[in-house]
Amino acid sequence: MKTVVFDLDGTLADTSGDLIAAANACFRAMGAGDMLDAKDAGTALRGGRAMLTLGMQRLGRAGDKATIDSYYPQLLEAYSADIDTHTILYPGAMDAVAALKTAGYRVAICTNKPEALAELLLTRLGVRHEFGAMLGADSLAVRKPDPEHLFETARRAGGDPAQSILIGDSDTDRNTARAAGVPCVLVTFGPSGEDMAALEPEALLSDFADLPRIVTELIGEVA
Ligand SMILES: O=C(O)COP(=O)(O)O
Ligand SMILES: [Mg+2]
């Protein structure tokens, strides 16, 4: 069974606002001010450690890995307390998911967000039940860019891993798909949109309305 596997942050949802707020709560707890703002959305979509690392650089403490490690749990706690205040699904994302399911594809999510947070966010957004499987960063012993994370996501959705496709927004997603030997579609509507073409995905996606057609072109129709 052919499976369309989606990344979450920066692909299905713009989570950057709530992620930045959670990171700033940590910097305030350190006695610093808000170190990140909306212009740091690209860093936010790479996850909590990326945001803490950038803020510590701005504080002139770039090498302070111990502080980053010690504040990471606090960041996750702040984030889970306010996970869907600013977060929105990208326009047309769920219409594309519905169209893919109607066409017979399995749909699933493979994210490097911790599984419990991804579950919470998808449930709050009211869309968890739309996906046949959802694997997070800690669901397996490996995570993206290890291709097994993608393969196991497809399997748990009832799909054939070799007949999957990954829709993502980052070099991690691109590298995962390449290691898996499956096509990759990268979205261009996020903050790093103009950099996506340089990663040479099999297709670029600027509007979710185009996704069903692109998927069929790349992995074929469901028989
Ligand atoms: O939180 C991260 O590291 C990124 O999450 P993603 O894999 O859904 O983009
Ligand atoms: Mg992403």
Write down the domain spans for the chain: 3-14+87-219, 16-81
Query: Which tens digit of pLDDT belongs to each residue from 126-155?
Result: 999 999 999 999 999 999 999 999 999 999
Query: Which tens digit of pLDDT belongs to each residue from 77-119?
Result: 999 999 999 999 999 999 999 999 999 999 999 999 999 999 9
Give yes or no for residue 223 having a pLDDT over 90.
Answer: no
ipTM score: 0.93
Give the per-residue pLDDT at 194.
Answer: 85
Atom of ligand 1 nearest to the CA of 10: 9
Positive or negative: CA dihedral 154, 91, 100, 215: negative
Taking residue 167's Cβ as centre, other Cβ atoms within 10 Å add up to: 30
Mutation test residue for ligand 1: of 89, 109, 113, 169, the one with most atoms within 8 Å of CB: 113
Collect residues with CB below 5 Å from ion ligand 2: 7, 9-10, 169-170
Atom of ligand 1 nearest to the CA of 50: 3
Query: Which tens digit of pLDDT belongs to each residue from 150-201?
Result: 999 999 999 999 999 999 999 999 999 999 999 999 999 999 888 999 999 9
Query: Which tens digit of pLDDT belongs to each residue from 13-28?
Result: 999 999 999 999 999 9
Task: Name the CATH superfamily housing domain 3-14+87-219.
Answer: HAD superfamily/HAD-like (3.40.50.1000)
Does the pTM of the predicted model rise above 0.90? yes
Indicate which residue of 7, 18, 169, 173 is catalytic. 7
210 is catalytic: no
